[in-house]
A and B are shown apart, each in its own frame.
Chain A
Amino acid sequence: AQSVTQLGSHVSVSEGALVLLRCNYSSSVPPYLFWYVQYPNQGLQLLLKYTTGATLVKGINGFEAEFKKSETSFHLTKPSAHMSDAAEYFCAVSDNTDKLIFGTGTRLQVFP
């Protein structure tokens, strides 16, 4: 069975600081991993995904994530936070289908 754990339900950073959102997964098959962002009262937007190949994945809005199989992690980073990055972020894993298993989310706050 697949599962996702997001460490830290709330993360606060200053504008211009490094953003690090943590995600650990459990999967019985080679996983596909995703990060989605959700702005208030909106649906989910895909930031980036890992399927196979290169373990460092670059996404939209300057975000990237690194797949580390030995640590079963897929942490999301951004070198410099912007006020517009404030949102809810969800890590998700899929197995042999495209059913997504989501974590509980991390709310990112960015202070000026």
Chain B
Amino acid sequence: DAGVTQSPTHLIKTRGQQVTLRCSPKSGHDTVSWYQQALGQGPQFIFQYYEEEERQRGNFPDRFSGHQFPNYSSELNVNALLLGDSALYLCASSLGGLRTEAFFGQGTRLTVV
């Protein structure tokens, strides 16, 4: 079982650019959630995807968007990058998406310069 895998592991982008991060859930899981973890902070919920639809969203601007594919993998897109978007982006997968255990990937470290 490969667990939750994220790519890439590290990324450097310039302010104003767009970025796409990818996540493959743990085998058998159908729900993917994305979190942003700024340096020295706890993870903050961005949004959750279930059955290829955004089921709930945290307090993040529309520059943050996502997608879930039929195989349950997911992408996080961020447009018009700001320096403040620099963070570790964590993907978590779960089964059913209702108060079940979430398994986290290793994260993608995004640096905006």
Residues of A near B65 (CB, < 8 A) are: none
Is there an interface contact between A98 and B31, defined as CB atoms closer than 8 Å? yes
Is there an interface contact between A98 and B99, defined as CB atoms closer than 8 Å? yes
Is there an interface contact between B42 and A98, defined as CB atoms closer than 8 Å? no
Is there an interface contact between A43 and B90, defined as CB atoms closer than 8 Å? yes
How far, in whole Å, are A107 and B7 apart by their CA atoms in the complex?
Answer: 27
B82 on the A face (CB < 8 A): no
Q: Which of A43, A96, A102 is within 8 Å of B42, CB to CB?
A: A102
Complex interface residues of chain A between 33 and 73 (CB less than 8 A to chain B)? 36, 41-46, 49, 51
Is there an interface contact between A43 and B106, defined as CB atoms closer than 8 Å? yes
Which residue of A is nearest B44, CB measured? Answer: A102
How far, in whole Å, are A51 and B100 apart by their CA atoms in the complex?
Answer: 10
Is there an interface contact between B104 and A43, defined as CB atoms closer than 8 Å? yes
Give me the interface of A with B, judged by CB distance under 8 Å: 4, 32, 36, 41-46, 49, 51, 90, 92, 94, 96-105
Q: List 28 A-B contacts (CB under 8 A).
A: A4-B42, A41-B106, A42-B107, A43-B4, A43-B107, A44-B43, A44-B92, A45-B104, A46-B101, A46-B102, A49-B101, A51-B99, A90-B42, A92-B42, A94-B99, A97-B56, A97-B97, A98-B33, A98-B94, A98-B98, A99-B33, A100-B33, A100-B43, A100-B45, A100-B92, A101-B45, A103-B42, A104-B42
Known: A98-B100, A99-B33, A99-B56. 12 other contacts (CB 8 A): A42-B106, A44-B104, A46-B101, A90-B42, A90-B43, A96-B98, A96-B99, A97-B48, A97-B99, A98-B94, A102-B42, A104-B41
